[in-house]
């Protein structure tokens, strides 16, 4: 039992030299077991070259092909605009990532400086305590010496 695949949407090929869209068979020559395609002109499905060739001769398909450029201009413009916005978004994400990395590095530097300054402040606080204790000892010694002199 084979699984049925969803038909692929047929799209004509653009001919830039003539600035028109032209039908081109989506199948390689002499191929078998082809992918099924659906033509947007009327939903016709085909999976063989001969079915494709007979379909493109229909008036419905010819009219659809003549107006393909105008009918799909809005869609193509939207796709083009979406691609431009996607590219801009990617660039902005890269810039944001770079800024974020720089910010993170600066925060790490700041944290190191703060840590270093805190260590220095602790050293000075300890030195101040030691000096106060030392000065208190000197004052006590001076008081003792003065008491000896006065007696």
Place of tokens 């010496």: 145
Question: Along the 151 residues of the chain, how does pLDDT read in single tens digits?
Answer: 556 678 999 999 988 888 889 999 999 988 888 999 999 999 999 999 999 999 999 999 999 999 988 888 777 788 889 999 999 999 999 999 999 999 999 999 999 999 999 999 999 999 999 999 888 877 766 665 555 555 4
Region of residue 6 (left: phi > 0; alpha: psi -120 to 50; beta: else):
beta
Contact between 26 and 37 (Cβ < 8 Å): yes
Beta strands in 43-102 (DSSP E): 45-46
pLDDT score of 27: 93
Number of CB atoms found within 10 A of residue 62's CB: 13
What is the rounded distance in angstroms from the CA atom of residue 83 to the CA atom of residue 75?
12
Token pair, residue 31, equals 């191929």
Query: Closest by alpha carbon to 35, among 4, 1, 2?
Result: 4
* First-to-final CA distance of the chain: 122
Place of tokens 């000896």: 148
pLDDT score of 12: 93
Number of CB atoms found within 10 A of residue 48's CB: 14
pLDDT score of 70: 84
Number of CB atoms found within 10 A of residue 118's CB: 10
pLDDT score of 5: 78
Token pair, residue 146, equals 């003065």
pLDDT score of 128: 92
């Amino acid at each position: 039992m084979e699984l049925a695949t969803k038909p692929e949407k047929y799209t004509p090929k653009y001919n830039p030299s003539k600035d028109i869209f032209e039908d081109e068979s989506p199948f390689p020559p002499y191929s078998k077991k082809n992918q099924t395609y659906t033509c947007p002109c009327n939903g016709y499905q085909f999976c063989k070259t001969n079915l494709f060739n007979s379909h493109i001769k229909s008036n419905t398909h010819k009219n659809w092909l003549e107006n393909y450029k105008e009918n799909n201009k809005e869609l193509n413009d939207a796709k083009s605009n979406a691609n431009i916005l996607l590219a801009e978004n990617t660039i902005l994400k890269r810039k944001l990532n770079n800024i974020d990395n720089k910010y993170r590095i600066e925060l790490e530097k700041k944290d190191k400086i703060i840590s270093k300054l805190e260590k220095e402040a602790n050293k000075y606080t300890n030195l101040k305590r030691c000096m106060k204790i030392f000065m208190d000892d000197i004052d006590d010694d001076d008081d003792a010496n003065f008491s000896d002199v006065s007696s």
